[in-house]
Amino acid sequence: MGLIVQKFGGTSVKDRNRIFNVARIVANTRKAGNDVVVVVSAQGDTTDDLIAKAAEISSNPSDREMDMLLSTGEQISIALLTMALQELGISAISLTGWQAGFATDRSYTKARIKRINTERLESELARNRVVVVAGFQGLNRSDDITTLGRGGSDTSAVALAAALHADRCQIFTDVEGVYTADPRKLPKATKLKEITFDEMLELASLGAQVLNNRSVELAKKYGVELEVISSLNPVPGTIVKEETKVEGMLIKGVAKDENVAVISIMEVPDVPGMSFKVFSLLAQRNINVDIILQSSGRDNSKDLIFTVPLTEAQTALSVLNENKNRFGGGDIKVSTDYAKVSIVGAGMQSHSGVASSMFEALFNQGINIHMISTSEIKISVIIDKTDADRAVAAIHDAFIH
């Protein structure tokens, strides 16, 4: 008995049968005496299809119009799921992101939720209705529709669970939980019973798309325990929480991210302030820079090499080219043939030799490492994209099997 937030991703609502499957899960939760708020994503590949439609019209559509377009996907899902619930005799109502009170900052296509005005939602719950909310969307101060970035419905669900002080937040998806690697790519990956917010945040940020990284950030901030489970197979999933009981597992998972581009700026003058000039330009455009390498100075110049998300590489390149004279005017190259492969685990903090075991696994496969970055709970390497799946399997074998 309590208030439960249930989120269903795109594959879980991709067609009529899947929608009724979800409706039955929600109906059973309701019939067990709970209040239920449901968050849904767009059906199947709808968001990708909408992006492709935009590309037929414009090579550089405005972010505002992209949000106007992409937000329609979730609106289809909420209406269809609510109809299905009503067919099953459950009193239900659908609400768009803005009807549900999601206020975001201004930034189109990657907006952040600023607050949620839950008044309407609470009044619908008080009328004993299941409330079906469109994920991934909100409204900014100009009353324009914004979206939260790919995978943003997870964030909508966690934010609602926090705002409503829900008793549970369940993320239903197309796999049975969080695994030691993507189970679709590496069938021998194993399901984790539990994982900490910090580990999950790293895995999500490093490419494990099962949870959106902002959703994990929010869950940690507001102490919202998450349950990641399958919408198709009713077996226990993975609990994501502050601290886990299961100790001793050094590495919790291996993640791969192909959304990386490597930018090299050659022959930057070897004088103070150059890194500041380069990276402040990127920060002004909200571009996340990840791994940074700087060659040692020679002939009074050095090379700056760093990674950015592939999706932001073109913006990065244009802003750097426009301002080239501010940092010496050297050659700027972008390469998109790389992937980032990472291991994550709080247990590795206290173990030496983790990095060398990882590098040994790659060496045994003849895989060349281009860049390395480490933190207390993760090690990432940049390697050729064509080596990435082999690298994940080899590293997984070295640490997990």
* 208 near ligand ADP, judged by CB under 6 A: yes
Binding mask 93-132 for ligand ADP (x = CB under 6 A): ----------------------------------------
* 157 near ligand ADP, judged by CB under 6 A: no
Cα atoms found within 13 Å of the Cα of residue 169, Cβ hemisphere only: 28
Strand partners, 333: 264
Q: Which of residues 16-45 bind ligand ASP (CB under 6 A)?
A: 41-42
Strand partners, 332: 265
Give the residue with the Cβ less far from ligand ADP, 101 or 151.
Answer: 151
Binding mask 2-21 for Mg ion (x = CB under 5 A): -------x------------
Judge contact between 239 and 194, C-beta under 8 A: yes
Least distance in angstroms from the C-beta of 41 to ligand ADP: 6
Number of residues in the chain: 401
Is 299 exposed, middle or buried (CB count within 10 Å of its CB: 0-12, 13-18, 19+)?
exposed
Tokens of 371: 């860049």
* 112 near ligand ASP, judged by CB under 6 A: no
- Segment contacting ligand ADP by CB under 6 A, of 47-55, 100-108, 168-176, 340-348: 168-176
Residue in 4, 6, 8, 10 binding ligand ASP, rule: CB under 6 A: 10
Tokens of 274: 């150059």
Is 97 in a helix, a strand, or coil? coil
Sheet bearing 292-294, strands edge to edge: 292-294, 301-309, 260-269, 332-335
Judge contact between 306 and 293, C-beta under 8 A: yes
Judged by beta carbon distances under 5 to 8 A according to partner kind, the member of Mg ion, ligand ADP, ligand ASP, none in contact with residue 73 is ligand ASP
* 137 near ligand ASP, judged by CB under 6 A: no
Contacts of 366 (CB under 8 A, 6+ apart): none
Total number of residues binding Mg ion (CB under 5 A)?
Answer: 2
In this structure, is the dihedral angle defined by the CA atoms of residues 343, 156, 49 and 80, taken in order, positive or negative? Answer: positive
* 237 near Mg ion, judged by CB under 5 A: no
Q: Which of residues 140-169 bind Mg ion (CB under 5 A)?
A: 151
What residues make contact with ligand ADP under the rule CB under 6 A? 9-12, 41, 151, 173-175, 178-179, 181-184, 208-210, 253
What residues make contact with ligand ASP under the rule CB under 6 A? 9-10, 41-42, 47, 73, 135-136, 150-154
